[in-house]
A and B are shown apart, each in its own frame.
Chain A
Amino acid sequence: MKSRVWRSFSLWYLIGVHLIAIFAGFVAPYDFARQERTRPFAGPTRVHFVDSSGKFHLRPFVYGIEKSEDLGSGYTEDRSIFYPIQFLVSGDEYAVGPFHCSLHLFGIEGPERFYLLGADGFGRDQFSRMLYGGRISLFAGLLAAALAGCLGLLIGGMAGYYGGALDDLTMRFAEVFIAVPWFYLLVAVRAVLPLHLDPSASFSLVVITVGFVAWARPAKLVRGVILSAKERSFVLASRGFGASTFHILQRHIAPAASGVLLTQITLLVPQFVLTEVALSFLGLGVAEPVPSWGNMLAAAQHYNVLVSYWWMLIPGLVPIPTFIAYHALSDNLHARLDC
């Protein structure tokens, strides 16, 4: 019973995370590229309920910050200015499909900036960038896994159903793709493509290369399922009654294959999110100023940043619960297949 709640929780959690990523423009208080050069590496802004005179406010508020003289990079709160946190405020413009919108879930009004998770070296809001970065990284992983799954279904399905020389050939090819160290292959594929691309092009490039390099494993799985399903007695019976190939595929084989494939895809998503993160980290994926969890972490690898500003590591931490949810979902699907 407990595990059932947990299972549906993982699904709802994933839906929630992806929705937040889709509507990053609304949830994030600032635009991902909005700089504030006077606030490099400002720490997370402290949210207060009680002001300096000891009075309690129901509405949380933040103080303004100013650079403190004693420490090189430290900031102190300026208690004289007071910014209440407001919901549904207007701010930076963002696009929702064809429309432009400037309404944000929360934010503060005035010249001061509200950094929920600190700021990076350009004074850009780390929280907003993390949300926009999640849009890139999560969906790159999801789309790449879906692409690999589709290719696997197509190739593995044909190999399994028609068998013979086609089966032999495709499975040999699959073996090649499994035998090659695949991250290096990915880097090699990236090496032959132009280095500097605009963000949407490099996003689709990552999705397509990862999807095409990783088709082999799902293809092998689908083929295995189809080979065993083909010999099942109900399939043989259906064929004996004169059912068409299409009918057999759609009615008997697809349900068997789709469960296995879906399980595989949910397992692949976290792996491919990490692949996108690693590629962007190495400067081979999505490039600045568009954030991805990978290129945000690239800023954290400098020694002084790593030691002094812990919030720069957050893009490496946010994927963890999402990955756990994906793994739980995959286990759930797997358990459902067995019974």
Chain B
Amino acid sequence: MIRYISRRFANSLFLLVVVSAIVFGLAQAAPGDFFSDATINQRISAETVAALRARYGMEKSLPVRYWGWLRSLGTGELGYSFAYDLPVGKILWPRMGHTLLLTVPALLLSWLVAVPLGILVATRRGSLVDRIFSVGTSAMLALPDLLIALLILLFALRTRMFPVGGMNSVVIPPGWWSGWKDTAWHMFLPVLAIAFGALPMILRHTRASMMEVLDSPYVRAARGLGLSRFVTLYRHALPAAANPLISLLGISVGGLLSVSLLVEVIVSWPGIGPLVLEAVLGRDLFLVMGAVMFFSVFLIAGGLLADILLYLLDPRIRMQS
């Protein structure tokens, strides 16, 4: 157990180091830096630019800078944003909370809808429900996330039932409860859009892996013993089918984050998405790199968690290692 976990942990750490090297290398390979524009401006002397560069430690050698950046990753500062003149962490952390406020409910919603529905369809193979399902999921898969987000915006604007734009209304009635309620109201449509984007993939995988398990003799045996349908499906079949689904969980988070970026930009949700986009346009590289690093840590930690979960749940994997 401990050996397995420590091996997975070492592997994750290795992944992180390589990702950080790639990301840092990218930033270094960029032509010019934040102060390049200043060198063209004749009113700013070369000495001033040099002094600014020295102030941010940009004259030091590459390994020293890389080490400094790694250390700032360790402390949660994630590098230094030139445009904001603040450590990236200070800007990123609150925004991160806003993004998670969208993605975590969307993740829960999509899985809670997709798994029971996928199981239901898996038990009705070849039926009308199954056929409608397969047409429906392929249509949903073909629907661009961008279009979903725009349609949701259109829906909100047309019906005026939901607020769009930002996280809170301009005027919020007093009391902590109404503040929460206001945010929840603003969250509703973006969460729906993100969850909808993630849904077809999870549905298809659930159906496929459940079908495989339902074919196996032990499920028939369980049914033959007279166990109830619910117990057969959820207690006996689902754990055996969960293996690929847990791996999918990690991948689906990655997909969710990229859909979230688009949705945030479209409904101007103050999350990471608009922040990163602004940073790209403003050439504030370390902010972009910090965000990529942050999400990488997030995803790699999620992958590690999924591995440990698999180990605990699946005796087949326990036997292997």
Residues of A within 8 A of B (CB): 172-173, 175-176, 179-185, 187-195, 270, 274, 277-278, 281-284, 294, 297, 300-301, 303, 306-307, 313, 316-317, 319-321, 323-324, 327-328
Asked if B288 and A188 make an inter-chain contact with CB atoms under 8 angstroms apart, the answer reads yes
> Any chain A CB within 8 A of the CB of B44?
no
Residue in contact with B258 in the complex, picked from A182, A283, A306, A307, CB distance below 8 Å = A182
A311 to chain B, nearest CB (A): 13
Asked if A181 and B254 make an inter-chain contact with CB atoms under 8 angstroms apart, the answer reads yes
Asked if A194 and B144 make an inter-chain contact with CB atoms under 8 angstroms apart, the answer reads no
Chain B residues with CB under 8 Å of A282's CB are 262, 265, 277
Asked if B142 and A327 make an inter-chain contact with CB atoms under 8 angstroms apart, the answer reads yes
Residues of B within 8 A of A (CB): 14-15, 18-19, 22-23, 26-27, 29-31, 138-139, 141-147, 150-151, 153-154, 157-158, 254, 257-258, 261-262, 265-266, 276-277, 279-281, 283, 285, 288-289, 291-292, 295-296, 298-300, 303
Chain B residues with CB under 8 Å of A283's CB are 277, 281
Q: With A and B bound together, what is the CA distance between A187 and B274 in angstroms? A: 12
Given contacts A191-B283, A282-B265, contact A179 B146 (CB under 8 A): no
Given contacts A180-B292, A316-B147, contact A188 B138 (CB under 8 A): no
Given contacts A192-B285, A324-B138, contact A297 B257 (CB under 8 A): no
Asked if B280 and A189 make an inter-chain contact with CB atoms under 8 angstroms apart, the answer reads no
Chain A residues with CB under 8 Å of B292's CB are 180-181, 184-185, 187-188
> In chain B, what residue has the closest Cβ to A310?
B154
> In chain B, what residue has the closest Cβ to A183?
B258
B285 to chain A, nearest CB (A): 6
Residue in contact with B296 in the complex, picked from A180, A187, A321, CB distance below 8 Å = A180
Residue in contact with A297 in the complex, picked from B29, B31, B150, CB distance below 8 Å = B150
Given contacts A180-B292, A185-B292, A281-B262, contact A190 B146 (CB under 8 A): no
Chain A residues with CB under 8 Å of B279's CB are 191
Residue in contact with B22 in the complex, picked from A176, A317, A323, CB distance below 8 Å = A176
Q: With A and B bound together, what is the CA distance between A185 and B142 in angstroms? A: 23
Q: With A and B bound together, what is the CA distance between A190 and B31 in angstroms? A: 12
B14, B142, B261, B289 pick with most chain A CB within 10 angstroms:
B142
Chain A residues with CB under 8 Å of B283's CB are 191, 195
Chain A residues with CB under 8 Å of B31's CB are 192-194
Chain A residues with CB under 8 Å of B151's CB are 313
Asked if A327 and B146 make an inter-chain contact with CB atoms under 8 angstroms apart, the answer reads no
Return the 9 tightest CB-CB contacts between A and B, nearest first.
Answer: A183-B258, A192-B30, A316-B147, A323-B142, A191-B280, A181-B295, A191-B288, A324-B142, A188-B292
Residue in contact with B153 in the complex, picked from A173, A277, A301, A320, CB distance below 8 Å = A301
Asked if B19 and A184 make an inter-chain contact with CB atoms under 8 angstroms apart, the answer reads no
Chain B residues with CB under 8 Å of A172's CB are 14, 18
Chain B residues with CB under 8 Å of A297's CB are 146-147, 150
Given contacts A179-B19, A179-B299, A300-B150, contact A320 B144 (CB under 8 A): yes
A324 to chain B, nearest CB (A): 5
Q: With A and B bound together, what is the CA distance between A291 and B38 in angstroms? A: 33
Chain A residues with CB under 8 Å of B266's CB are 301
Q: With A and B bound together, what is the CA distance between A300 and B15 in angstroms? A: 40
11 contacts between A and B (CB under 8 A): A179-B19, A179-B303, A187-B276, A188-B291, A192-B27, A192-B31, A194-B31, A195-B283, A281-B262, A313-B154, A324-B138
Given contacts A179-B300, A181-B296, A190-B280, contact A306 B147 (CB under 8 A): no
Q: With A and B bound together, what is the CA distance between A172 and B299 in angstroms? A: 16
Asked if A192 and B15 make an inter-chain contact with CB atoms under 8 angstroms apart, the answer reads no
Asked if A327 and B141 make an inter-chain contact with CB atoms under 8 angstroms apart, the answer reads yes
Chain A residues with CB under 8 Å of B296's CB are 179-181
Q: With A and B bound together, what is the CA distance between A187 and B26 in angstroms? A: 12
Q: With A and B bound together, what is the CA distance between A201 and B265 in angstroms? A: 25
Q: With A and B bound together, what is the CA distance between A317 and B148 in angstroms? A: 10
Chain B residues with CB under 8 Å of A191's CB are 30, 279-280, 283, 285, 288
Given contacts A307-B154, A316-B150, A327-B142, contact A173 B285 (CB under 8 A): no
Chain A residues with CB under 8 Å of B19's CB are 176, 179-180
Asked if A278 and B142 make an inter-chain contact with CB atoms under 8 angstroms apart, the answer reads no
Asked if A180 and B281 make an inter-chain contact with CB atoms under 8 angstroms apart, the answer reads no
A14 to chain B, nearest CB (A): 13
